[in-house]
């Protein structure tokens, strides 16, 4: 006898048998649907082959076609010679545009830049090399090269078979960003803009525009230049910071035996140490747009965060950067700056106190914490953020405010440095 266990927490009842007529109907329906799909495959191919050429019609082209057909039909039905003439003009323009689009091009394009990582304010010099891979010469063509959110247009002269054309270009970098260049695409369009056909001929290239950074003295920013590390309350049998003496326990390292105390007491006495921990800088950067008065103020916060983490890297210290976008533990200075290029501010992000609490949870071994925010953060919010950090973690805040003079003040148990420009960071870091 087999026992069927009922699912826990659910209402169970025996499954009703499906009628035979319903089973047969479902089977016939599935068979008919499969036959219909198989038979409609050629029809789908024909429809796609007819629709694909219509992709070259622009919005202006569709408007001209609708107006032309409407005017022609209205003129014929109502006997308006003027409407018939207008309709014929529109349709003739479409016919001429169609003849203009006849012909194919066979290009190969290569995008080269002198650097893929630059700083804000630098210029990127690039080269676009276009080659005619066809067996016959090509007439002049317009080539578009997307650069970020915009696009640059170049007129490629007539090229013979196997010939190439080189086009130099310059990309200015006014703001921290990731600029995507390409892919280069040829554009063939009629003079009226009724039809337009595009085709890509190259891969895209990414340029990382790194934020500005400054050198910061590690001694003045809480990045401790310690040899033995930061002492914790955890006890260890072998370390640098001496704690106390205790009786020997099997398994203890014999090198930790304190022989003078052993000789005096007649039993083995070993040294006990306080476990030390290397400096680990935690930078908490807020991306909430409501905390910054201007976009330049947010860029200043990005530069300040990058300067602190780079300084820790120069001193061979561990550093972690946490924002609403996630945790960044850079393996190299270049990769850190690349990650900073992707960060963008947006409203409705997690507030600084909650972000700080989550950051401490993700990086529990941090010894120094830096909270970076904008000018619209109230002092009480900074105090709440500091309250979410354990007392043993040295914490300071950097407030970016371009409308105020740089200065230093105390908010609760935390030092707060206000900077108006990036150069104020190394000048005021001594107060931290």
Handedness of CA 28, 29, 33, 34 (dihedral sign): negative
Question: Residue 198 has what pLDDT?
Answer: 78
Question: Residue 13 has what pLDDT?
Answer: 44
Question: Residue 423 has what pLDDT?
Answer: 87
Q: Which two tokens stand for residue 170?
A: 């310059």
Greater confidence (370 vs 259) lies with 370
C-beta of residue 151 within 8 angstroms of C-beta of residue 160: no
For residue range 303-347, what is the model confidence (pLDDT) as tens digits? Answer: 999 999 888 888 878 888 999 888 887 778 888 888 899 989 888
* Distance (Å, whole) CA 390 – CA 367: 10
Q: What is the mean pLDDT of residues 93-98?
A: 88
pTM reported for the whole predicted model: 0.66
Q: What is the mean pLDDT of residues 420-425?
A: 88
Does residue 25 have a pLDDT over 90? no
Helix and strand numbers, DSSP H then E, in the chain:
9, 20
The helix/strand/coil state of 350 is coil
In the chain, what are the domain boundaries?
53-100, 107-210, 231-276, 279-431
Question: Residue 354 has what pLDDT?
Answer: 92
C-beta of residue 284 within 8 angstroms of C-beta of residue 372: yes
Q: What is the mean pLDDT of residues 30-44?
A: 66
Predicted confidence band of residue 298 (pLDDT cuts 50, 70, 90): very high
Question: Residue 372 has what pLDDT?
Answer: 93
* Distance (Å, whole) CA 66 – CA 77: 16
- What is the C-alpha radius of gyration for the chain, rounded to an integer number of angstroms? 36
* Distance (Å, whole) CA 378 – CA 177: 29
Q: What is the mean pLDDT of residues 226-238?
A: 43
C-beta of residue 35 within 8 angstroms of C-beta of residue 65: no
Handedness of CA 65, 69, 70, 71 (dihedral sign): positive
Question: Residue 400 has what pLDDT?
Answer: 92
Handedness of CA 386, 387, 389, 392 (dihedral sign): positive
Contacts of residue 5, Cβ cutoff 8 Å, sequence gap at least 6: none
Predicted confidence band of residue 161 (pLDDT cuts 50, 70, 90): confident
C-beta of residue 178 within 8 angstroms of C-beta of residue 147: no
For residue range 360-418, what is the model confidence (pLDDT) as tens digits? Answer: 999 888 888 999 999 998 888 999 999 999 888 889 999 999 888 888 888 888 888 99
Nearest residue to 211 (alpha-carbon basis) of 317, 349, 336: 336
Does residue 137 have a pLDDT over 80? no
* Distance (Å, whole) CA 219 – CA 393: 16
CATH architecture under which domain 107-210 falls: Sandwich (2.60)
* Distance (Å, whole) CA 406 – CA 40: 73
C-beta of residue 229 within 8 angstroms of C-beta of residue 278: yes
Greater confidence (8 vs 332) lies with 332
Question: Residue 276 has what pLDDT?
Answer: 52
Question: Residue 11 has what pLDDT?
Answer: 39
C-beta of residue 57 within 8 angstroms of C-beta of residue 95: no
Contacts of residue 389, Cβ cutoff 8 Å, sequence gap at least 6: 356, 360, 369, 395
Q: Which two tokens stand for residue 104?
A: 């194919």
Question: Residue 294 has what pLDDT?
Answer: 92
Question: Residue 240 has what pLDDT?
Answer: 40
Question: Residue 22 has what pLDDT?
Answer: 65
What is the strand order of the sheet 164-172 is part of?
107-113, 123-132, 164-172
∠ CA(187), CA(190), CA(194), 5° rounding?
Answer: 100
The helix/strand/coil state of 391 is coil
The fold of the 279-431 domain, in CATH, is Rossmann fold (3.40.50)
* Distance (Å, whole) CA 193 – CA 174: 33
* Distance (Å, whole) CA 19 – CA 50: 46
Average pLDDT, the chain: 79
Q: Which two tokens stand for residue 325?
A: 């976008």
Q: What do you get for the CA distance between the two ends of the chain, in Å?
A: 78
Does residue 192 have a pLDDT over 80? yes
């Amino acid at each position: 006898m087999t026992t069927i266990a009922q699912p826990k927490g659910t209402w169970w009842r025996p499954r009703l048998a499906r009628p035979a007529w319903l089973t047969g109907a479902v089977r016939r329906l599935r068979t008919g649907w499969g036959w219909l799909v198989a038979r409609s495959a050629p029809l789908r191919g024909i429809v796609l082959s007819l629709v694909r050429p219509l992709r070259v019609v622009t919005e202006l082209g569709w408007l001209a076609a609708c107006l032309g057909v409407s005017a022609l039909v209205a003129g014929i039905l109502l006997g308006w010679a003027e409407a018939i003439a207008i309709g014929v003009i529109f349709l003739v323009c479409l016919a001429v545009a169609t003849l203009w689009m006849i012909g194919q091009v066979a290009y190969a394009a290569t995008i080269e830049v002198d650097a893929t990582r630059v700083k804000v304010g630098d210029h990127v010099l690039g080269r676009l090399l276009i080659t005619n891979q066809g067996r016959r010469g090509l007439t002049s063509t317009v080539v578009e090269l997307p650069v970020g959110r915009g696009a640059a247009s170049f007129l490629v002269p007539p090229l013979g078979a196997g010939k190439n054309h080189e086009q130099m270009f310059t990309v200015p970098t006014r703001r921290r960003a990731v600029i995507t260049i390409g892919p280069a695409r040829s554009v063939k369009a009629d003079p009226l803009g009724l039809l337009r056909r595009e085709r890509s001929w190259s891969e895209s290239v990414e340029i990382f525009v790194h934020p500005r950074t400054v050198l910061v003295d590690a001694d003045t920013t809480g990045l401790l230049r310690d040899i033995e590390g930061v002492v914790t309350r955890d006890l260890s049998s072998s370390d640098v910071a001496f704690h106390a003496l205790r009786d020997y326990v099997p398994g203890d390292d014999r090198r930790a035996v304190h022989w003078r105390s052993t000789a005096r007491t007649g039993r083995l006495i070993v040294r006990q140490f306080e476990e030390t921990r290397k400096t680990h800088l935690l930078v908490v950067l807020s991306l909430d747009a409501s905390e910054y008065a201007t976009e330049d103020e947010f860029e200043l916060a990005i530069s300040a965060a990058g300067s602190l983490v780079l300084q820790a890297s120069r001193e061979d210290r561990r550093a972690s950067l946490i924002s609403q976008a996630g945790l960044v533990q850079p393996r190299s200075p270049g990769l850190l700056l690349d990650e900073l290029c992707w960060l963008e501010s947006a409203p409705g992000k997690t507030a600084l106190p909650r972000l700080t609490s989550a950051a401490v949870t993700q990086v529990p071994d941090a010894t120094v914490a830096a909270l970076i925010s904008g000018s619209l953060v109230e002092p009480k919010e900074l105090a709440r953020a500091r309250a979410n950090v354990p007392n043993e973690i040295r914490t300071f805040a950097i407030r970016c405010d371009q409308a105020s003079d740089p200065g230093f003040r105390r908010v609760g148990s935390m030092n707060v440095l206000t900077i108006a420009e990036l150069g104020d960071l190394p000048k005021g870091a001594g107060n931290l």
